[in-house]
Amino acid sequence: MNAESDERREAAADGDDAAAHRLGSRAPHFVRRSRPLHLSWQAGVFVVGLAVVVAGVIMLPLPGPGWLVIFAGMAIWATEFVWAQLVLRWTKRKVTEAAKRALDPKVRRRNIALTAAGFVIIAVLLGIYVSTHGLRLPWHTGR
């Protein structure tokens, strides 16, 4: 048994009929009929998804939408691989939960207080720097 059929069976057992239809390969029917063609298709999807994910990882320390590109690569993989579909579902669930927690009034007040405290600390450090060194910027060596 392959993982695709196991996932479909589990989703159907959970009563999530729509999820059962969404798991698995989204390759065209003529591709899925031929095993060699389907394996080639999967290899192509994997390589394209890998290239996009690697580009996203490279963008993480550089300017650019690194995480967005990584998730785009995962979405490419999810068109063909059940494991990527499950990772994307888990990620979407966690992001939704985090967004709900962030909108909680207690959490918002705490975040606002922490942000304000951070700004005060930065302002104090900046004031200390200016009083010690004047308005000279650190990258100007005075030459």
User: Three-class SS string for the chain?
Assistant: CCHHHHHHHHHHHCCCHHHHHHCCCCCCHHHHHCHHHHHHHHHHHHHHHHHHHHHHHHHCCCCCCHHHHHHHHHHHHHCCCHHHHHHHHHHHHHHHHHHHHHCCHHHHHHHHHHHHHHHHHHHHHHHHHHHHHCCCCCCCCCC
What is residue 104's predicted lDDT score, i.e. its pLDDT? Answer: 84
Tens digit of pLDDT at every position of the chain (143 positions): 344 444 444 444 454 545 444 676 777 777 777 778 878 888 888 999 999 999 999 988 888 888 889 989 988 888 888 888 888 889 889 988 888 887 888 888 888 999 999 999 999 999 998 888 777 666 766 65
